Amino acid sequence: MSCEVNLTNQLRERGFRITPQRSVILHILGHAKAHLTPAEVYQQASISLPGLTETTVYRTLEFLAQTGLAQTVFNGKSKYAYEISGYAHHHLVCRQCGTEVEIPHVKAEALFKELQESTGFQLMQNHISFFGLCPVCQED
């Protein structure tokens, strides 16, 4: 019916079950304009699924990350955020003010390839957080 059908089918084909909880959370992530925290996902998802628990939100988001449909954002503050895996990119995060800048994955492609070849690791191809100071916060 709605927009997240292709993603749920992808899960079913891989042997996972499609639950209302997963559908709703995928729907929300799919329409998000920004990184969403578990609390934000829970808040929105509760509207259409009143019985939903935060535990399930945490587990579903982690599940989506493990299966590659979503990505975890590390902002350096022990608070998570997630987004649907789409356009491959990374972030520069200011350790002072939290400002985030998006970096297209292609800029890091050479490094990723090199690391994979030299270590045998299969790297998730996007969404690394690079930490530092933004231009504004450098004046301290």
Partner DNA sequence: TTCCTTATTGCAGTTAACTGCAATAAGGAT
Partner DNA sequence: ATCCTTATTGCAGTTAACTGCAATAAGGAA
Query: Residues at the annotated binding site for Fe cation?
Result: 109
Binding residue (CB under 8 A) for a second copy from 66, 86, 87, 113: 66
Taking the C-alpha atoms of residue 82 and residue 62, their distance in angstroms, rounded to an integer, is: 9
DSSP state of 137: G
**CB-CB neighbours of 122 under 10 Å:** 7
The item of DNA, a second copy, Zn ion, none sharing an interface with residue 2, based on CB under 5 to 8 Å by kind, is: none
Judged by CB under 8 A, how many residues of this single chain contact a second copy?
Answer: 34
Taking the C-alpha atoms of residue 109 and residue 115, their distance in angstroms, rounded to an integer, is: 10
DSSP state of 79: -
| Least distance from DNA to the Cβ atom of residue 33, Å | 20
4 vs 83, beta carbon nearer a second copy: 83
> Using the rule CB under 5 A, is 75 a contact of Zn ion?
no
> Using the rule CB under 8 A, is 110 a contact of a second copy?
yes
> Using the rule CB under 7 A, is 21 a contact of DNA?
yes
The item of DNA, a second copy, Zn ion, none sharing an interface with residue 34, based on CB under 5 to 8 Å by kind, is: none
**b/e code 12-28 from CB counts within 10 Å (16+ = b):** eeeeeeeeebbbbbbbb
